[in-house]
Structure 1
């Protein structure tokens, strides 16, 4: 039987809109919508999309546009950003975009905010042109967004319309203790990127909980973490599906990035000893296996972390196998 800790927390999805080898962004978007509709049926809580740029394997660069597409094709699941990389954007533009989304899909839009550019430095400069904001300006930009969303801003010279007066939940995303301190100080929910940055995960969520200051937005700390899950009917099949993910992660380590590759029977010759060690360290919070193995491993993970919500991302080449991975995952939670 699945651990009660797992049964009692919401499950959510992070989608990087993966472009698979031999396909294009248009097919990717259709696959994302198909996945969103299925996980909505299964009872997942949120469907978030991440902003990345200049990456052959990721199609979610125009994040707010894609959020609108997914929200428009679903009925009840919350849809949002995991996240909008705020240094790339003027806060007013973000407020207007998400005010528009929240007006179109009331009660369903989340705004997760990150302080990194979501790309390399050369691309970051191309995105910003003469806009000189940096990660150091992130706290001020978050507070500027809160001001634009507040009804009290109605008398200001600069207003976000639509956006003003709307209840759009803001989340602080992070992979370090700096983001944890900011989320705690502002009294906002905190989402940690443990799916690729495990080093400071446990320290950051403990710091956030210890220093949390209640706010008008949130009375008590709320922690969500993202992990990698690749599930199948057998552990052997899950391990094979995971080779697509391992190839992608190896490309990140080596700088030789490609669209998401088909699975292979063995990673021999595709990574060396150094690359394998680096991938496994970076992807520490990765859960691969059948229902029983996934259930046991996630129960232990939840026992250690006491998360309020679990977000999952799954880099699987075949769209139907990706959907089935989430079906297997949800069956762990629904097991009685």
Structure 2
């Protein structure tokens, strides 16, 4: 293993993309297949994320999808990156992840975010109100911890949930999550794969203010990084064009859609606005051959000092996505990774 990757873990975030012309059933089958592949390649964990009202993302029922992936694998950690806590009562999450922990003991991760993962209409449909209280999210996290600890502070025993030990993370794309993770002594994951602006400052705050806890004696940070790897640079650029189209469409129209097929020379066809959007949102990315990916990941790890990298990529063709994961693993751990 190259020196800059020594001790570093590699994981994968799957939005369970529904492709144009595809179906939710196909997306879920692809997720299980890709998780098995990631397990074989030595990835540390496989996360899915909670999004609602999005035609191109099949992981809205996040706990159910995690159970699906857990049943398809045997050793890799599986979990949420993340659960958007404003959408659900902490007791519900304790019961769901207590169930998952009972089904897959020692393998469940629970990443918690404070964004709704939806708009106001969807939030109302979920029968939740967006809490303007700045202490709402921290209070919900502490309440959730209490259910798992079964310490009696809530006056309610979560069944399942009491005594469960999912690995809890705080997620964020701003400084708030970094501050909370530091105060609570929890591992922290930053969403730099789509919101890279505050990454360095957030990591600095988390490490500076970290307080040791019963679960963690020193800071542990992970950050998202887009990887599109292929045998040639041209093919990698083509694969990346599907996610690029989705980003531009969402940022310019506000309308999410299904993952489109790759489009040759897509970046060249964009105007100034589109390229500016991609230049910002994809700043933490590597697109190219295994060597290019190795260099990009090494630069990212060297700059941030993260303990773990959460690779993200939405690729239209499942076989190409599997190959991208294999090349990424090989870039970090060659020659141990398999093809």
What's the TM-score once normalised by structure 1's chain length? 0.96
**Cα shift at 1:133:** 3.9
Q: Give the secondary structure class of the aligned counterpart of 2:266.
A: coil
1:288 and 2:287 equivalent?
Answer: yes
Instruction: For residue 139 of structure 1, report the CA deviation from its aligned partner.
Output: 0.2
Gapped runs of 5+ residues in structure 2?
none
Cα distance in 2, alignment partners of residues 87 and 132 from structure 1: 7
Q: Which residue of 2 aligns with 1:77?
A: 76
Unpaired stretches in structure 1, ≥5 consecutive residues: none
Distance 1:135 1:62 in 2: 26
1:139 aligns with: 138
What's the CA shift string for 1:146-184, capped at 9, x where partnerless?
Answer: 00000423x863111111112221100000111100000
1:209 to partner: Cα distance: 0.2
3-state SS, counterpart of residue 258 of structure 2? coil
Shift of 1:132: 5.7
- Note if 1:157 corresponds to 2:194: no
**2:306 maps to what in 1?**
307
Specify the alignment match of 1:40 in structure 2: 39
Shift of 1:208: 0.2
Contact 1:250 / 1:271 at 8 angstroms: preserved in 2? no
Tell me how far apart the structure 1 counterparts of residues 283 and 307 of structure 2 sit (CA, whole Å). Answer: 20
| Conservation of the 8 A alpha-carbon contact between 2:10 and 2:310 | yes
Matched, 1:212 2:203: no
Alpha-carbon distance, 1:240 to partner: 1.1
Match for 1:168 among 159, 166, 172?
166
Structure 2-normalised TM-score?
0.95
User: Any conservation in 1 of the 2:51–2:59 contact (CA below 8 Å)?
Assistant: yes
Partner of 2:264: 265
| Structure 2: distance between partners of 1:104 and 1:258 | 33
RMSD: 1.5
Distance 1:268 1:310 in 2: 26
Give the distance between the partners of 1:114 and 1:178, measured in 2 at CA.
10
Checking the alignment, whether the CA contact within 8 Å between 1:20 and 1:261 is kept in structure 2 is: yes
Check the 8 A contact 1:87/1:135 in 2, yes or no: no
**Distance (whole Å) between structure 2 residues aligned to residue 141 and residue 191 of structure 1:** 18
> Paired residue for 2:187?
189
Does 2:322 correspond to 1:323? yes
Give the whole-Å Cα distance in 2 for the aligned partners of 1:322 and 1:311: 15
